[in-house]
Structure 1
Amino acid sequence: MYIPKYSEVHDLKLIKSFIEEYSFATLLSQTSEGISANHYPFLIDQEGEDLVLWTHLALGNPQWKNLSQSMKALVIFTGPHSYISPVYYKDPLNVPTWSYTAVHATCACEVVKDSQVTKDLMKRLVSHYERKNGTNWNYELPEDFHEQLLKAIVWLKLRVTSVEAKFKLSQNRDKEDYLGVIEEFSKRTSENDKDLLRYMKLTMPEKMK
């Protein structure tokens, strides 16, 4: 990913938090027929100094077979983004741009074969999204039905070998322009725009304060 210095993020705590918040991501892998890209929910763990991602695929989805052979993948997490109009700047002689947030995780992959681990992962995944969704489905299923469902999916463990984070949020502008963008987004009410403003404040350069 092309990342100018001003938009590069190195704070691993912030990156991990971002992945947890925007955990529905795109998984890309190379196949003999080209690039395979699919979209899955992910869990994230810390194992020592390594980040580990977990996701599951339908058994009929050939991507897991390709991953078990190539063992490499790229996971792309995207967060809030927005069009930025030149009217937010002091000088009208400007052009529009786009503010956005993204994390790319290059991973080494393996298929999870332990049935108890896959059961625990599925329960954890459901619990995670039930909380985020504000619901409380308790995952109580008849055991035979549960086993049948688990046989129809494949879990992957993806150990992150490198991570790139780009939060392109007007950090390259002068202070007046930067604060003009913040002022504009402070008026907005959509969740996307409020989240973008939050990340602008989290990554605000010292020169803007």
Structure 2
Amino acid sequence: MYAPGAYAAADPVSIVRKYPFAHLITATGEDTYATPTPIFFETDDTVSTLVGHMTRINPQAQTLQNGQRVLAIFPGPHAYISASWYKTLLTVPTWDYVSAQIRGRLEIIDDDEGQIKVLRRIAAVLERDNEHPWTLEQAPPGKVQQLLPRIRSFRITVDRIEGVTKLNQTHPASDRMLIIQQLLARPDSDSHEIARLMAHLPST
């Protein structure tokens, strides 16, 4: 992952945790596949493995193999930055963004017990902030068992985690404040999130 020193994420793991809706990328022969799907660390206390799943009728699912090298991209918020917003250090337009990548090796999880564990983990992570978290036990009778043959779950053993947090760190704090004001005036949530992250940068 191209990550210039000024923009290299100090904690790429936190990006993966915060923005888990990833793109799983694999290559087989002359074909390259990519599927957007949520991917999570397998437990709360380790970053060595991740788990996820996709529908079995997805052509990519048919190509997944044990030991296959994979790339998972975790895109966070992003926003265009107009050059007209700079007052101190004049330059050209740019794009601010947050993103992480994980490279690793795949392990297929096809057995019912293993797939149920993956589904439990996904539900546990996504429901943890709800006042009344939903669990697999609340699914309609037989629904989970009916689902299992229709999905293909996987585990990724992590080789490398990298991240970029590009938030105009190379510009003076005075210019960043002007950028924040412009971003907050926009209607989209990504611009607001980039503004919030930029506001928490150390002053330079």
Q: TM-score, normalised by structure 1?
A: 0.82
The answer to whether the Cα contact below 8 Å between 1:55 and 1:157 also exists between their aligned partners in 2 is yes
**Counterpart in the other structure of 1:160:** 158
**Counterpart in the other structure of 1:181:** 179
Cα distance 1:116–1:58, how it changes in 2: closer, same or farther (>3 A)?
Answer: same
SS in 2 for 1:172: coil
Structure 1 CA distance, aligned partners of 2:4 and 2:154? 32
Tell me how large the CA RMSD over aligned residues is.
Answer: 2.8
Greater displacement, 29-38 / 186-195: 186-195
The answer to whether the Cα contact below 8 Å between 1:7 and 1:169 also exists between their aligned partners in 2 is yes
Alignment of 1:1-209 (within 5 A): 1-11=1-11, 15-45=12-42, 50-69=47-66, 71-91=68-88, 93-130=90-127, 137-139=134-136, 140-187=138-185, 190-202=188-200, 204-205=201-202, 208-209=203-204
Work out the percentage of aligned pairs sharing the same amino acid.
29
Structure 1 residue 29: deviation in Å? Answer: 0.6
Structure 1 CA distance, aligned partners of 2:4 and 2:25? 23
Q: Give deviations 1:110-149, integer Å, cap 9, x for gaps.
A: 0124422321321332343345688855542355332121
Q: Which structure: greater helix fraction?
A: 1
Cα distance 1:134–1:142, how it changes in 2: closer, same or farther (>3 A)?
Answer: closer
Q: Point out where structure 1 has 5 or more consecutive residues left out of the alignment.
A: none
Cα distance 1:49–1:55, how it changes in 2: closer, same or farther (>3 A)?
Answer: closer
Q: Point out where structure 2 has 5 or more consecutive residues left out of the alignment.
A: none
Structure 2 CA distance, aligned partners of 1:138 and 1:70? 31
